[in-house]
Each structure stands twice: as structure tokens, then as C-alpha cells.
Amino acid sequence: MEPLSPPEPGFPVQKSSSVLQKKSCILLGVTGSVAALKLPLLITELLKIPGLWKGRSDPVLHIELRRWADLMLVAPLDANTLAKLANGICDNLLTCVIRAWDMRKPLLFCPAMNTAMWEHPITARQVEQLKSFGYKEIPCVVKKLVCGDEGRGAMAEVWTIVESVKSILEERDMSMQS
């Protein structure tokens, strides 16, 4: 599968189609990448999509989470968790949810790691493995990383991720109405 093409920047989240007015549930997986610093901004922007969750009350197990969610977004996806997913390892709640994921539902992932890690040959194989499962990549970008290096490996911009989620939800809702 091809990575999602980035939407045009500046498309306001508030201007949503009527397709997104129905309630949708998104499960957001977070890994140990330094790009997790963007999580508060990502959540703030995702919550602006009409019909998304405002909170959950009771803790649930990985099977209940996979049933609850309409879409799963793993942002950022660090090199360690990428390797686990590509090899079927499920040793924590996030990897267990992904291992139990309903393959009829979309799963999007946003790789984020140091450029040297991104450029290692195993990374391309692992990303392709996830894509072969039907998961959709929101590609990392080139920029100056927190470590000071400059190159590919930074998590996609928040607006790119949010627009990709909206696009998938709209597409899924349209196909369910057909």
C-alpha cells in the first residue's frame, strides 16, 4: 500500500464535512519516541474533529479497546515498537491491542526516530511488513531532530496526521453508507 498523501496545509479542522458529524472513536497509541512531546497538541487538534470522544470512564483490556475504536492511530511509532509489531511481539498494552486489531478497521502509523535509525536497512523492511498487514503509513519528514541531527525521521506534522485521520474516517463512513 502507498503511504497516505499529505493533505494541503491550512485546511481548518473546524470546517468538517457532514460525514464526520456521526460519533467516531479513535484509539491513539503512543510509543517512546521524543516526538511524543507533540501528543498534547495532537490530542487538542483531534478533539476538534466533530463527533470524536471527549473521554472514557472505566479502564478496559486490549480486546475491549479494539472493539471500542473505529480507527487506531499510533503516533509516534518509535523504532522499538515498529520492530515489535513487524515481528508479532505483543508485550505491552499497545502492542497487544495492535496484535488483536480488527483488520476491517483502519490502523494508521506515524514513524518517528533518529535519522540513522530511519536509514538502517531493517527499518524499510519493518515498515513494509506493517503495510503488508494493511496498515497505513503517514510518512516521517525531514527536519532538525531534538538530538540536533537533521534528516528524515521526524514524525509527520500534526496537521498532516489530523487531516489523514479525517480523510480515512470520511472514506470509511461513505463506504459504510453505500
**Residues involved in catalysis:** 147
CA distance 111 to 102: 21
What single letter denotes the amino acid at residue 35? A
3 state DSSP class of 128: helix
Phi, psi of 16 (to 5 degrees): -105, 150
Whether the Cβ atoms of residue 28 and residue 43 lie closer than 8 Å to each other: yes
The CA-atom distances, in angstroms, between 15 and each of 2, 53, 63, 115, 117 are 27, 18, 34, 35, 37
Element holding 45 (H helix, E strand): helix 39-46
Q: What is the DSSP string of 54-103?
A: ----S---HHHHHHH-SEEEEEEE-HHHHHHHHTT---SHHHHHHHT--T
